[in-house]
Amino acid sequence: MRLKPNRTEKCSTLTTLNSFLASKPTWDIWKKSWAEEDNTTESACVNVYSYYKKHTDCGGYAVILRNNSAQPIAARVNFSLDGKSYLFQVLSGLLAGLHLASDHGCYSPYVRCNSRIVVTLLCQIASRSCKCKGSKIGKICHRCANSIVPYMSDDCFETLVPLIEQLQDKYKYLGPTNFACVSRKMNEAAHYLAKEAKKDALSNKKLLVDYENGKLVDYEADMKPNEFLEKLVSFLLNDAYDSIYYNLDARGRLVG
């Protein structure tokens, strides 16, 4: 059974595609094959799922780094009682994903997240500038940024500026084409992991106390692929095979 298809073997015909889908292993066999894989991450992909609940103010994200055979290399989860905003959580997730990728030697990963507005914001910030005064994200001011993301509050803008500056500063080599928005179906593993982390943080009291300020602070944890349970492995496996992972570019378009 072939367990290690790669990007160079693009499914150019229906027959090849069918034989590729037919080669899908069971979750446990697939998981066992991970250890044998060369974890070269030059063309790695990062899946990011972020959320923010306005009525409770909590938020969080999960990021999963995968190699070019769609196998997981590392994951990071975060849950915060002070979520700030949805945009804040998405940008924090992107930053965490990029940190995770560079920690594993990948400096230009394809990043797939669940926010079209953030992808648009990053693309626009990379290409637009204005001459207005006041604090700016990149080269555009709050008012001009509002034309991209309407109704962004002052507080929200102020919390986003440093995050976007970190993204721009640390990852100059990344272009807008490195970022794409994907559907929930194509991001199911990161979505599941984010939900589990929230449950874990709340029910198992994993939130840490900041003893100096007496406050509960973010729960953050790194996960290794060998700790992944069946359900998570199954989501990753389905994504690897059923969503034709290998034949999608950074924008989620079919190629080859």
CB of 246 to Zn ion, least distance (A): 42
Comparison of 23 and 135: residue with beta carbon closer to Zn ion: 135
Comparison of 144 and 193: residue with beta carbon closer to Zn ion: 144
Comparison of 1 and 130: residue with beta carbon closer to Zn ion: 130
CB of 68 to Zn ion, least distance (A): 40
Q: Which stretches of the chain bind Zn ion, using CB under 5 A? A: 130, 132, 141, 144
Give the chain's end-to-end CA distance (angstroms, integer). 24
Comparison of 125 and 144: residue with beta carbon closer to Zn ion: 144
CB of 181 to Zn ion, least distance (A): 25
Comparison of 55 and 133: residue with beta carbon closer to Zn ion: 133
CB of 59 to Zn ion, least distance (A): 28
Comparison of 32 and 143: residue with beta carbon closer to Zn ion: 143
CB of 69 to Zn ion, least distance (A): 44
CB of 122 to Zn ion, least distance (A): 17
